[in-house]
Amino acid sequence: MTKVLLLEGEMLVALDLELNLRDLGMEEVHVANSVDDALALLESCEIGLAVIDYNPAGETAEPVLLGLEARGVPFLVMAGYPHHSVLLADARLWPLLAKPASPVSLRTALAALKAKPA
């Protein structure tokens, strides 16, 4: 079973995403509402996949993304930005899914992420 880290600053959006992830077969979803909460979960759980809001509650999620990247954990960045160029950090291009995301687009993006070689 894959343990999923979900970082989303808005509670209703987090609940909707959690339900969508569970509908997609992710049985263990750890929800964080802040960067600090996500970093704590990253340290305390063996995360296998992550869905990260790039700008939860006005914070930048880059510390979480860099931590996931360092651990080799596949992740998907969600943002209301129109393209990748806004999400560059030290010339990194991270997989991006525009918000709001439909369940179909979430499923497609996660399937592409899982199919990507490590």
Q: DSSP states of 28-70 as a string?
A: EEEEESSHHHHHHHHHHS--SEEEEESSGGG---HHHHHHHHH
CATH of the domain spanning 3-115 = 3.40.50.2300
Beta bridge mates, 75: 50
Domain boundaries, the chain: 3-115
CB neighbour list of residue 115: distance below 8 Å, 6 or more residues apart: none
* pTM for the whole structure: 0.87
Distance of CA 113 to the CA centre of its chain: 11
- Rounded (10°) angle between helices 11-23 and 103-115: 60
pLDDT along the chain (118 residues), means of 10: 89 93 91 96 93 90 93 89 54 74 88 73
pLDDT score, position 115: 72
